[in-house]
Protein backbone atom coordinates (compact mmCIF):
# COMPACT_ATOMS: atom_id res chain seq x y z
CA UNK A 1 0.00 0.00 0.00
CA UNK A 2 1.36 3.41 -0.96
CA UNK A 3 0.34 6.87 0.10
CA UNK A 4 0.20 9.55 -2.56
CA UNK A 5 -0.99 12.95 -1.64
CA UNK A 6 -2.70 11.52 1.48
CA UNK A 7 -4.58 8.93 -0.49
CA UNK A 8 -3.97 5.22 0.21
CA UNK A 9 -3.89 2.90 -2.75
CA UNK A 10 -3.81 -0.92 -2.69
CA UNK A 11 -0.90 -2.71 -4.31
CA UNK A 12 -1.66 -3.99 -7.73
CA UNK A 13 -2.42 -7.70 -7.92
CA UNK A 14 -0.36 -9.81 -10.28
CA UNK A 15 -2.00 -10.32 -13.63
CA UNK A 16 -1.81 -13.44 -15.71
CA UNK A 17 -1.94 -11.58 -19.04
CA UNK A 18 -1.49 -8.01 -17.99
CA UNK A 19 -5.26 -7.36 -17.88
CA UNK A 20 -7.06 -9.90 -15.57
CA UNK A 21 -5.85 -10.12 -11.90
CA UNK A 22 -4.93 -13.65 -10.61
CA UNK A 23 -6.73 -14.29 -7.27
CA UNK A 24 -5.95 -17.64 -5.56
CA UNK A 25 -7.89 -18.24 -2.32
CA UNK A 26 -6.38 -20.06 0.68
CA UNK A 27 -8.35 -23.34 0.45
CA UNK A 28 -7.45 -24.20 -3.15
CA UNK A 29 -3.87 -23.18 -2.47
CA UNK A 30 -3.65 -25.50 0.55
CA UNK A 31 -5.18 -28.38 -1.39
CA UNK A 32 -2.74 -27.84 -4.21
CA UNK A 33 0.16 -27.89 -1.76
CA UNK A 34 -1.11 -31.10 -0.11
CA UNK A 35 -1.43 -32.78 -3.51
CA UNK A 36 2.09 -31.77 -4.35
CA UNK A 37 3.51 -33.01 -1.03
CA UNK A 38 1.66 -36.33 -1.31
CA UNK A 39 3.91 -37.26 -4.19
CA UNK A 40 5.89 -40.42 -3.14
CA UNK A 41 9.13 -38.79 -4.16
CA UNK A 42 8.91 -36.57 -1.07
CA UNK A 43 8.59 -39.59 1.29
CA UNK A 44 11.20 -42.00 0.01
CA UNK A 45 13.38 -41.52 3.11
CA UNK A 46 10.57 -41.51 5.71
CA UNK A 47 10.81 -44.20 8.45
CA UNK A 48 8.57 -47.25 8.03
CA UNK A 49 5.42 -47.82 10.08
CA UNK A 50 7.28 -50.36 12.23
CA UNK A 51 10.15 -47.97 12.80
CA UNK A 52 7.77 -45.18 13.81
CA UNK A 53 6.03 -47.55 16.23
CA UNK A 54 9.36 -48.57 17.79
CA UNK A 55 10.36 -44.94 18.11
CA UNK A 56 7.16 -44.14 19.97
CA UNK A 57 7.70 -47.19 22.21
CA UNK A 58 11.24 -46.18 23.14
CA UNK A 59 10.09 -42.64 23.82
CA UNK A 60 7.37 -43.97 26.14
CA UNK A 61 9.79 -46.27 27.96
CA UNK A 62 12.28 -43.44 28.32
CA UNK A 63 9.63 -41.21 29.89
CA UNK A 64 8.50 -44.05 32.16
CA UNK A 65 12.06 -44.72 33.32
CA UNK A 66 12.64 -41.05 33.96
CA UNK A 67 9.45 -40.80 36.02
CA UNK A 68 10.32 -43.92 38.06
CA UNK A 69 13.90 -42.83 38.67
CA UNK A 70 12.63 -39.46 39.87
CA UNK A 71 10.73 -41.03 42.77
CA UNK A 72 13.12 -43.92 43.52
CA UNK A 73 15.72 -43.36 46.28
CA UNK A 74 19.06 -42.65 44.68
CA UNK A 75 17.67 -41.81 41.25
CA UNK A 76 18.42 -44.13 38.30
CA UNK A 77 21.03 -46.10 40.28
CA UNK A 78 18.53 -46.70 43.06
CA UNK A 79 15.96 -47.91 40.54
CA UNK A 80 18.46 -50.42 39.14
CA UNK A 81 19.26 -51.67 42.66
CA UNK A 82 15.55 -52.10 43.45
CA UNK A 83 15.06 -54.04 40.19
CA UNK A 84 17.97 -56.37 40.98
CA UNK A 85 16.63 -57.00 44.50
CA UNK A 86 13.19 -57.91 43.12
CA UNK A 87 14.76 -60.30 40.59
CA UNK A 88 16.80 -61.95 43.36
CA UNK A 89 13.70 -62.39 45.54
CA UNK A 90 11.73 -63.95 42.68
CA UNK A 91 14.62 -66.33 41.92
CA UNK A 92 14.89 -67.33 45.58
CA UNK A 93 11.16 -68.04 45.82
CA UNK A 94 11.23 -70.05 42.59
CA UNK A 95 14.17 -72.12 43.87
CA UNK A 96 12.51 -72.66 47.26
CA UNK A 97 9.00 -73.44 46.08
CA UNK A 98 9.66 -74.94 42.68
CA UNK A 99 7.25 -74.81 39.76
CA UNK A 100 3.72 -73.91 40.88
CA UNK A 101 1.74 -77.04 41.51
CA UNK A 102 -1.51 -77.91 39.92
CA UNK A 103 -4.54 -77.80 42.15
CA UNK A 104 -6.18 -81.12 43.03
CA UNK A 105 -9.24 -80.17 41.00
CA UNK A 106 -7.10 -79.76 37.87
CA UNK A 107 -4.94 -82.80 38.54
CA UNK A 108 -7.78 -85.29 38.21
CA UNK A 109 -6.84 -88.82 39.31
CA UNK A 110 -3.42 -87.56 40.36
CA UNK A 111 -2.24 -90.60 42.31
CA UNK A 112 -3.25 -93.47 40.02
CA UNK A 113 -3.08 -92.08 36.51
CA UNK A 114 -2.57 -95.35 34.62
CA UNK A 115 -5.53 -97.46 35.79
CA UNK A 116 -5.93 -99.82 38.75
CA UNK A 117 -2.99 -102.05 39.67
CA UNK A 118 -2.21 -104.03 42.78
CA UNK A 119 0.23 -102.93 45.45
CA UNK A 120 2.53 -105.76 44.35
CA UNK A 121 2.52 -104.41 40.78
CA UNK A 122 3.44 -100.93 41.99
CA UNK A 123 6.23 -102.31 44.19
CA UNK A 124 7.66 -104.26 41.25
CA UNK A 125 7.57 -101.16 39.06
CA UNK A 126 9.26 -99.13 41.80
CA UNK A 127 12.01 -101.72 42.12
CA UNK A 128 12.65 -101.63 38.36
CA UNK A 129 12.93 -97.84 38.38
CA UNK A 130 15.22 -97.91 41.41
CA UNK A 131 17.55 -100.45 39.79
CA UNK A 132 17.89 -98.04 36.84
CA UNK A 133 18.44 -95.02 39.15
CA UNK A 134 15.16 -93.45 38.02
CA UNK A 135 14.40 -92.12 41.49
CA UNK A 136 11.51 -89.85 40.54
CA UNK A 137 9.54 -92.73 39.05
CA UNK A 138 10.61 -95.03 41.88
CA UNK A 139 9.23 -92.62 44.51
CA UNK A 140 5.98 -92.26 42.59
CA UNK A 141 5.42 -96.00 42.22
CA UNK A 142 6.33 -96.76 45.83
CA UNK A 143 3.90 -94.13 47.11
CA UNK A 144 1.22 -95.65 44.91
CA UNK A 145 2.08 -99.04 46.42
CA UNK A 146 1.63 -97.58 49.91
CA UNK A 147 -1.82 -96.22 49.17
CA UNK A 148 -2.97 -99.27 47.18
CA UNK A 149 -1.85 -101.56 50.00
CA UNK A 150 -3.89 -99.53 52.51
CA UNK A 151 -6.90 -99.83 50.20
CA UNK A 152 -6.40 -103.58 49.88
CA UNK A 153 -6.31 -103.84 53.67
CA UNK A 154 -9.54 -101.79 53.88
CA UNK A 155 -7.74 -99.05 55.82
CA UNK A 156 -8.64 -96.66 53.02
CA UNK A 157 -11.76 -96.69 50.90
CA UNK A 158 -10.86 -96.89 47.20
CA UNK A 159 -11.70 -93.49 45.77
CA UNK A 160 -10.86 -92.17 42.29
CA UNK A 161 -9.16 -88.80 42.22
CA UNK A 162 -7.62 -89.09 45.70
CA UNK A 163 -4.40 -87.15 46.00
CA UNK A 164 -1.31 -88.29 47.87
CA UNK A 165 -1.87 -85.64 50.55
CA UNK A 166 -5.47 -86.75 51.08
CA UNK A 167 -4.45 -90.40 51.33
CA UNK A 168 -1.72 -89.57 53.87
CA UNK A 169 -4.10 -87.52 56.01
CA UNK A 170 -6.79 -90.23 55.99
CA UNK A 171 -4.35 -93.05 56.69
CA UNK A 172 -2.67 -91.09 59.46
CA UNK A 173 -5.88 -91.18 61.50
CA UNK A 174 -5.88 -94.98 61.71
CA UNK A 175 -2.07 -95.26 61.75
CA UNK A 176 -1.06 -92.34 64.01
CA UNK A 177 2.44 -93.64 64.66
CA UNK A 178 3.17 -93.28 60.95
CA UNK A 179 1.28 -90.05 60.32
CA UNK A 180 4.42 -87.92 59.97
CA UNK A 181 6.13 -90.41 57.66
CA UNK A 182 2.99 -90.63 55.52
CA UNK A 183 2.88 -86.86 55.21
CA UNK A 184 6.56 -86.69 54.20
CA UNK A 185 6.08 -89.45 51.63
CA UNK A 186 3.12 -87.58 50.14
CA UNK A 187 5.23 -84.42 50.00
CA UNK A 188 8.00 -86.30 48.16
CA UNK A 189 5.43 -87.61 45.66
CA UNK A 190 4.05 -84.12 45.06
CA UNK A 191 7.52 -82.60 44.70
CA UNK A 192 8.57 -84.92 41.89
CA UNK A 193 5.15 -85.11 40.22
CA UNK A 194 4.07 -81.47 40.28
CA UNK A 195 6.86 -79.42 41.82
CA UNK A 196 9.61 -80.05 39.28
CA UNK A 197 11.93 -81.45 41.97
CA UNK A 198 14.33 -84.37 41.53
CA UNK A 199 14.31 -87.27 43.97
CA UNK A 200 17.37 -89.22 45.08
CA UNK A 201 17.98 -92.66 46.52
CA UNK A 202 17.54 -91.62 50.19
CA UNK A 203 14.12 -90.16 49.34
CA UNK A 204 13.07 -93.41 47.72
CA UNK A 205 14.42 -95.53 50.59
CA UNK A 206 12.33 -93.54 53.08
CA UNK A 207 9.14 -94.31 51.16
CA UNK A 208 10.23 -97.93 50.79
CA UNK A 209 10.84 -98.25 54.54
CA UNK A 210 7.45 -96.69 55.23
CA UNK A 211 5.76 -99.20 52.94
CA UNK A 212 7.49 -102.09 54.71
CA UNK A 213 6.69 -100.71 58.18
CA UNK A 214 3.01 -100.21 57.31
CA UNK A 215 2.75 -103.83 56.25
CA UNK A 216 3.72 -104.87 59.81
CA UNK A 217 1.58 -102.27 61.61
CA UNK A 218 -1.90 -102.93 62.89
CA UNK A 219 -4.29 -99.99 62.72
CA UNK A 220 -5.61 -98.13 65.73
CA UNK A 221 -9.39 -98.17 65.42
CA UNK A 222 -11.56 -95.96 67.62
CA UNK A 223 -14.75 -97.97 67.98
CA UNK A 224 -16.34 -95.75 70.63
CA UNK A 225 -19.06 -93.62 69.09
CA UNK A 226 -19.47 -89.99 70.24
CA UNK A 227 -21.76 -89.68 73.17
CA UNK A 228 -21.76 -93.42 73.98
CA UNK A 229 -21.63 -94.26 77.71
CA UNK A 230 -18.22 -95.37 78.89
**Predicted local distance difference test score (pLDDT) of residue 221:** 59
Q: Any long-range contacts for 87-90 (C-beta under 8 Å, 24+ apart)?
A: none
Mean residue pLDDT of the chain comes to 74
Tell me the Ramachandran region of residue 154: left when phi exceeds 0, alpha when psi lies from -120 to 50, beta otherwise. left
Judge residue 3's burial from the number of C-beta atoms within 10 Å of its C-beta, 0-12 exposed, 13-18 middle, 19 or more buried.
exposed
The distance from CA 195 to its chain's CA centroid, rounded to whole angstroms, is 13
Alpha-carbon distance of 54 to 62, in angstroms, equals: 12
Helix (H, G, I), strand (E, B) or coil at 108: coil
**Predicted local distance difference test score (pLDDT) of residue 101:** 47
**Predicted local distance difference test score (pLDDT) of residue 2:** 47
Alpha-carbon distance of 153 to 169, in angstroms, equals: 17
The per-residue pLDDT for range 125-176, each reduced to its tens digit, is 999 999 999 999 999 999 999 999 999 999 998 888 888 999 999 999 989 9
* Residuewise pLDDT in 10s, the chain (230 residues): 544 444 444 455 555 455 555 555 666 667 766 666 666 665 556 666 777 777 777 787 677 666 666 655 556 666 666 677 677 777 776 665 555 444 443 444 457 766 678 999 999 999 999 999 999 999 999 999 999 999 999 999 888 888 899 999 999 998 999 999 999 999 999 999 888 899 999 999 999 999 999 988 887 655 333 443 33
Amino acid sequence: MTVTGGTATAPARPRADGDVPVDISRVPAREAAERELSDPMYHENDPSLLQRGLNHLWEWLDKLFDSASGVAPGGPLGLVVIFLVVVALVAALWWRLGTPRRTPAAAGDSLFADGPRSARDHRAAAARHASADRWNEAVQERMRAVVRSLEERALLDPRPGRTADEAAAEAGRSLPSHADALRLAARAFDDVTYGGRTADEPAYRRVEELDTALERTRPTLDTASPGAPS
